[in-house]
Amino acid sequence: MNVSNLFKIAIKALGNNKMRCFLTMLGVIIGVGAVIAMLAIGQGSKNSIKAQISEMGSNMIMIFPGGDTRGGVRQSSDDMQTLKPADYEALLDQSVNIANITPTVNSSGQWVNGNNNYPSQAQGVNTQYLDIRQRKVSEGEMFSENDVKTAAKVCVLGKTLVDNLFPGGTDPIGKVVRFGSIPLTVIGVLDEKGYNTMGQDQDDLALVPYTTVMKRMLAVDYIQGIQASAIDENRTEETIAEITDILRTNHKLRDDQDDNFTIRSMQELAEMINSTSSMMTMLLAAVAGISLLVGGIGIMNIMIVSVTERTREIGLRMSIGATGRDIMTQFLIESILISVTGGLLGILLGAIATWLIKLIANWPVQIDPSSVILSFAVCTLIGIIFGFYPAAKASNLDPIEAIRYE
Amino acid sequence: MAKEIIKIENLKRYFKVGDEIVKALRGISFTIYEGEFVTIMGTSGSGKSTLLNTLGCLDTPTSGEYYLDGIAVKGMGKNERARIRNRKIGFIFQNYNLLPKTTALENVELPLLYNSAVSAKERTERAKKCLNEVGLGQRMLHKSNQMSGGQQQRVAIARALVNNPVIILADEATGNLDTRTSFSILTLFQRLYREGKTIIFVTHNPEIALYSSRNITLRDGRIVSDEYNDDIQSAEEVYRNLPVEE
Ligand SMILES: Nc1ncnc2c1ncn2[C@@H]1O[C@H](COP(=O)(O)OP(=O)(O)O)[C@@H](O)[C@H]1O
Ligand SMILES: [Mg+2]
């Protein structure tokens, strides 16, 4: 018996029951659509994290005050003051793996220029910040080492702040603005970067010498963190070890004492976020997969009904020479056609859903070709698995009894 | 001497129903030669259908020998029997058993779909030829459910002819039809007989024996008579003389 004839027979049989056929497919369509959309969301967010990380510099290392909080132990305010400018200076002097390094100390407040004001932060950094974060000054210039030394009252503004404080389009360079009560001279404007892949405005930023923030704004002797970049991103591990050594020595920690600072590398962070988002994706895909399973059961259900309904037809086919194998193949083809057609429509639905998600919610999405291939393969498999029992049932019918069936 | 198409020897078929054994066929022997038009008669339950199913390789006898077209059917597997049905037998049923929502042409093509030696082109040609033979040349593309009972049975006959079977087996082929339509179908069978086809026609209606060349009567699974008919009546004549119903 040739399979192409059985194909014709199966297509014809399905065509006789279009509505039922479509409703049966619907389960698979929704299941596959959901799987595709979920995986697209997962893949999209993974990609955006990756992009974000490389945007920020994958060789970046951040040092925070206080011990490792991953264990969930609460931090006292003392713990938050363990990093001092001396730590930064020690790293600057002693480390061989660090390319650039800056202390960070931020103050929140209101930026004011005459009648215009804008709530934001003053980020206290040194001159190397620009290299670490891969930023540039597009107008004017960055503050100097000397400005840092003297805690000069100067600032470099991001585009968002410029737009809000100088709405008329006046040149901000040389103008004096206030942050809280402190007058600062604008000496530069940062290059425009727009929103990052996580939707943060990268131009809502104002850089001030960290000494200015410490002495004139916050009046503190500690810093909130240190950002550094490793010379070689493949040597992040060694760099972290070196930093740990230098800081422990500097803090005079005994061997039995835990670190009173925390070091995070961008790579580590990336892995952490990645594994979280992978887990999330798997969870979503599993839920979607269950709906696919339900779709498969729907196919089996309808095929069983169909075999019962068409008992006489099966009896007739057998009496004119169809073998059990022919009957089995015909019904298997029918269920595979339902599941594969459903799968193809499901892929289409998934693609449309993904596109809508991107359009409406503006989420980063990406359909991975492997997810399409996977769901297609799963559909074919579902057709075979869930079609097998009804098909076997049909092929085992006794022709005499089947043809008499009312 | 004509060719032996069917030869059975002491054929028995017992059914086990619970603890009881139903003896549907209790030892039947006969030989049917090429070109015979045999009616098998008997009251309901006498074993006619069981016999026909066995001859049609749908059922296997409990004991006895069966040769179809010179081939021993006994000991054949399921698939071999399916192949025999496909190549050598034409079945006609009381309730037509056409595929619903399917054209006459496609219904007639059906047996050839299960024969990969026949190309699509040949399939359609042969089906058309058979439909022309049964007088449905104008209705090839009508759906089965849009046809009258008589027309449906003609489609079924065309389907039974399409594989050039060595024997045509009909089980109560006129059982669902009114007298006039029955005679038109019987006329068709007589024409096939004249053309040299071998036919076994099972019926419980004794009148039909008048129109066949040989009549075998069964009772309780045994042959009670096996007679040749020297004076075959013309079904066509009866058909012509029947009043057309309003
Ligand atoms: N599959 C079966 N199982 C049990 N008994 C059967 C079966 N088929 C037929 N019989 C019995 O065999 C006898 C002959 O049946 P059948 O060949 O159908 O007679 P007919 O066609 O002459 O009316 C009946 O008594 C019937 O009940
Ligand atoms: Mg019967």
Closest residue by CA, ligand 1 atom 18? B49
SS3 A66: coil
Q: Report the CATH architecture of B4-241.
A: 3-Layer(aba) Sandwich (3.40)
Sign of torsion over alpha carbons B149, B152, B156, B158:
positive
Ligand showing the shortest atom-to-Cα distance for residue B94: 2
Ligand 1 pocket member B24 (CB < 6 A): yes
DSSP string over B3-16: PEEEEEEEEEEEEE
| C-beta of residue B127 within 8 angstroms of C-beta of residue B137 | no
SS3 A361: helix
Chain centroid to CA A132: how far? 23
Of the candidates A312, A317, A399, the beta carbon closest to that of B58 is on: A399
* CB contact set of A395 (below 8 Å; sequence gap of 6+): A324, A325, A327, A328, A331
Sign of torsion over alpha carbons A359, A363, A364, A370:
negative
Check whether B169 has a pLDDT greater than 90. Answer: yes
SS3 A210: helix
With an 8 Å Cβ cutoff, the interface of chain A facing chain B consists of 1-2, 5, 8-9, 12, 16, 312-313, 315-326, 399-400, 403
Ligand 1 pocket member B54 (CB < 6 A): no
Closest-approach residue (CA) in chain A for B94: A404
| C-beta of residue B194 within 8 angstroms of C-beta of residue B187 | no
Nearest to A109 by CA among A219, A225, A217: A217
- CB environment A155-172: b (16+ within 10 A), e (fewer): bbbbbbbbbbbbeeeeeb
* CB contact set of B116 (below 8 Å; sequence gap of 6+): A1, A2, A5
Nearest to A129 by CA among A101, A152, A157, A149: A101
Ligand 1 pocket member B46 (CB < 6 A): yes
Closest residue by CA, ligand 1 atom 11? B24
Ligand 1 pocket member B49 (CB < 6 A): yes
Question: Are the beta carbons of A5 and B116 separated by less than 8 Å?
Answer: yes
Question: Are the beta carbons of B110 and A320 separated by less than 8 Å?
Answer: yes
Q: Which atom of ligand 1 is nearest to the CA of B204?
A: 22
Strand partners, A227: A62, A102
| C-beta of residue A293 within 8 angstroms of C-beta of residue A360 | no
Based on its alpha-carbon atoms, the radius of gyration of chain B, rounded to whole angstroms, reads 18
- pTM of the shown model: 0.76
Nearest to A32 by CA among A239, A290, A310: A290
Condensed to tens digits (0 to 9), the pLDDT of residues B127-156 reads 999 999 999 999 999 999 999 999 999 999
| Residue B178: Cβ within 10 Å count | 12
Q: How far is the CA of A406 from the centre of ligand 1 (A)?
A: 17
- Return the structure tokens found at A17: 């029951």
* CB contact set of A200 (below 8 Å; sequence gap of 6+): none
Q: What is the pLDDT along chain A (406 residues), one digit of tens a residue?
A: 678 888 888 888 888 889 999 999 999 999 999 989 988 988 888 888 778 777 777 788 999 998 776 555 556 666 788 899 999 999 999 999 999 999 999 999 999 998 999 999 999 999 999 988 888 999 999 999 999 999 999 999 999 999 999 998 889 999 999 998 999 999 999 999 888 766 788 899 999 999 999 999 999 999 999 999 988 878 888 899 999 999 999 999 988 888 889 998 887 877 887 788 888 888 888 888 888 888 889 999 999 999 999 999 999 999 999 999 999 999 999 999 999 999 999 999 999 999 999 999 888 888 989 888 988 888 889 889 999 999 999 999 999 999 988 7
Helices (H), A95-154: 129-132, 145-149
Ligand 1 pocket member B165 (CB < 6 A): no
Write down the pLDDT at residue B113: 93
Write down the pLDDT at residue A237: 85
Question: Are the beta carbons of B114 and A5 separated by less than 8 Å?
Answer: yes
Rounded to the nearest 10 degrees, the angle between the axes of helix A3-15 and helix B104-113 is 150
Bridge pairing between strands A225-230 and A60-65: antiparallel
Question: What number of C-beta contacts closer than 8 Å exist between A and B?
Answer: 64
| Residue A244: Cβ within 10 Å count | 15
Closest residue by CA, ligand 1 atom 4? B15
* CB contact set of A312 (below 8 Å; sequence gap of 6+): A402, A403, A405, B97
CB < 8 Å to A316, chain B = 93, 97, 99
CB < 8 Å to A312, chain B = 97
Closest residue by CA, ligand 1 atom 27? B45
SS3 A257: coil
Ligand showing the shortest atom-to-Cα distance for residue B218: 1
| Residue A286: Cβ within 10 Å count | 11
Bridge pairing between strands B222-228 and B4-17: unpaired
Q: Given phi > 0 = left and psi -120 to 50 = alpha, else beta, which region is A115?
A: alpha
ipTM of the prediction: 0.94
Ligand showing the shortest atom-to-Cα distance for residue B175: 2
Q: Which atom of ligand 1 is nearest to the CA of B47?
A: 17
Ligand 1 pocket member B45 (CB < 6 A): yes
Residue with tokens 């991107």: A358
Question: How is chain B split into domains, by residue range?
Answer: 4-241
Of the candidates A317, A321, A403, the beta carbon closest to that of B93 is on: A403
Ligand showing the shortest atom-to-Cα distance for residue B24: 1
Write down the pLDDT at residue A75: 61
| Residue A76: Cβ within 10 Å count | 9
Instruction: Give mean pLDDT, residues B106-119.
Output: 94
CB < 8 Å to B99, chain A = 313, 316
CB < 8 Å to B86, chain A = 320-322
Condensed to tens digits (0 to 9), the pLDDT of residues B38-50 reads 999 999 999 999 9
Question: Are the beta carbons of A5 and B111 separated by less than 8 Å?
Answer: no
